[in-house]
A and B are shown apart, each in its own frame.
Chain A
Amino acid sequence: MAESAIAHDHGVSHGAHASSTGLSNNKMGMWMFLGSECLLFGGLISTYMLYRGRVSSGPQPNNIFDIPFTSVSSFILLMSSLTMVLAVSSAQRKDDRNINLWLTITALLGATFVGGQVYEFTAFYREGLGFTTSLFGSSFYALTGFHGVHVSVGIIMLIALVGMNRNNRIPGDKAEVVELIGLYWHFVDIIWIIIFTLVYLIPS
């Protein structure tokens, strides 16, 4: 009985042998999305690099950054990548309890990072660096703000995933869904690796 394998690919993410390349549709889509995000963050980073020293009023970058604090934040985000990869690993072993554990820890670490960003931004604001204060201010907050929003969206996805997993409501291939959310999460981490170096560690 001839089976239309191709129709099954839609959304029911089990791509491996049903596709021309042997690869999963969803995974391919996610990698392409991440490739396009490089152009997005590249634009924001370049805008920052263009405007980094331009301070018509308000604080200079060197006067305002708290490198020790941001280093701790960066370390936390880096560790969240580890916990994420452990969640993916658990998903591949179909270890539901550990999936939820590691996803939750990842979300918590991410939330800590975002909390740190919020604290940092409010401190900067109080010290005179607002979004509208200078080109440095506008481009700094735009870049780190976009990143922060991406992290927050990631946290929402992680929590949603935990919720859906506990109610057994993840459609399709669970290990793949966790893997793809993991890809997104790691991407957000590697963007921070770039931001931390170019924005914070390299003084203008």
Chain B
Amino acid sequence: MSTATTHEEATENHEVEHHGLSDKQYIVIALILAALTAIEVSTYYVDFGPFFMPTLLILMVIKFVTVVSYFMHLKFDNKIFSYLFYAGLLLAIAVYCGFLATFKFFLKQG
């Protein structure tokens, strides 16, 4: 007799224990992300001076990592998933920054 179906239930119960922030926690994170977005948008209206670029780039990275770690659950999952995803991400950043560097992109202003 096949056990194809009986495996599923065991796994689902197994996984529910590990997964999950509560819905309330997800909402809190979403509100934080919204607040960060508001700060980002405010750079359009308010002069941040020399803090303009760093603020935007840092906020971008924080939002990115927050969604990946919490909404996509990467922080709580097996490290292999993190390796697989971040390998691609870091490779992309390295290679494309190298690409832009050959065009002296980071030397020119802006």
Contacts and interface: CB of A to CB of B under 8 A. Distances in A.
Interface of A: 3, 8, 12, 14-18, 21-23, 27-28, 31-32, 34-39, 41-43, 45-46, 49-50, 53, 67-68, 71, 74-75, 78-79, 81-82, 84-86, 89, 92-94, 172-173, 175, 179, 182-183, 186-187, 189-190, 193-194, 196-198, 201-204
A21 B85 contact: no
Contact of B80 (A23, A78, A196): A23
A43 B98 CA distance: 12
Contact of B8 (A14, A36, A67, A82): A14
B72 to A, nearest CB: 5
B110 interface: yes
Interface of B: 2-4, 7-8, 10-12, 14-16, 19-20, 23, 26-27, 29-30, 33-34, 37, 40-41, 43-44, 53, 56-57, 59-60, 63-64, 67-68, 71-73, 78, 80-81, 84-89, 91-93, 95-96, 99-100, 103, 105, 110
A78 B33 contact: yes
Given A86-B26, A173-B8, 6 more contacts: A23-B81, A28-B81, A49-B100, A79-B30, A93-B16, A94-B12
A186 B67 contact: yes
If over half of A's interface residues share one DSSP class (helix, strand or loop), that class is named, otherwise mixed; here it is helix
Contacts of B33: 78
